[in-house]
């Protein structure tokens, strides 16, 4: 009789735990899916800066087997590529770093989509190099325009 009662208690506890995990998984999945859809709307309207935030949040809502997670990473990559092509390196870096940090943020016993982290790291390094070259050109141009004298950025003139 005692064994039956223990068995029923364990069974009830397992059922409750499974239901709680399922509820969390479903809530996380649908919230992430909604964020992905918000990102798609922002992207369609040309609001790339809000799209970055939406796609990043979608990745943070990682659930196994969800299709919106890799789709969000692809969208962030596309946004980063666009900013990179236009020479807006700060925003390109933000997009690439969003991919990397999001996947680091959802790791637990394993790191999902490690390939995106590696790919993002490589692209971040490349963009940082492009940005450094651009900054050197700008500094060189400013020095040339001031006759070799340092330019006072606050005054906008020569010292």
Helix (H/G/I), strand (E/B), else coil: 63: coil
Give the global pTM: 0.80
Q: In total, how many domains does the chain have?
A: 1
Instruction: Tell me the C-alpha distance between 121 and 45, whole Å.
Output: 29
pLDDT in tens, 60-83: 999 988 999 999 999 999 999 999
Residue 47 belongs to some domain of the structure: yes
In a domain, 57, yes or no: yes
Do the domain assignments include residue 36? yes
Contact 99, 60 (CB under 8 A): no
97-119 pLDDT per residue, tens: 999 999 999 998 888 999 999 99
Nearest to 58 by CA among 79, 29, 80: 29
Position 127 in a domain:
yes
Residue-level pLDDT at 145: 64
In a domain, 159, yes or no: no
- Tell whether 150 is covered by a domain: no
CB atoms within 10 A of CB 131: 16
Sign for the pseudo-dihedral over CA of 7, 10, 15, 16: positive
Residue 96 included in any domain: yes
Q: Is residue 156 part of a domain?
A: no
Look up the domain containing 45 and give its range. Answer: 2-144
Q: What is the CATH number of the domain that holds 16?
A: 1.25.40
Instruction: Find, among 4, 6, 65, the residue nearest to 32 by Cα.
Output: 65
């Amino acid at each position: 009789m005692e064994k039956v009662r223990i068995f029923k208690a364990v069974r009830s506890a397992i059922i409750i735990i499974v239901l709680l995990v399922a509820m969390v998984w479903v809530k996380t999945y649908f919230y992430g899916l909604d964020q992905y859809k918000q990102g798609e709307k922002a992207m369609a309207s040309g609001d790339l800066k809000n799209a970055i935030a939406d796609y990043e949040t979608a990745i943070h809502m990682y659930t196994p087997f969800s299709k919106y997670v890799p789709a969000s990473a692809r969208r962030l990559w596309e946004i980063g590529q666009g900013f990179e092509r236009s020479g807006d390196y700060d925003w390109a870096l933000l997009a690439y770093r969003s991919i990397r940090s999001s996947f680091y943020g959802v790791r637990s016993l394993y790191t999902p989509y490690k390939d995106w982290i590696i790919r993002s790291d490589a692209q971040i390094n490349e963009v940082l190099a492009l940005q450094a070259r651009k900054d050197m050109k700008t500094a060189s141009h400013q020095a040339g325009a001031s006759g070799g004298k340092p330019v006072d950025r606050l005054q906008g003139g020569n010292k």
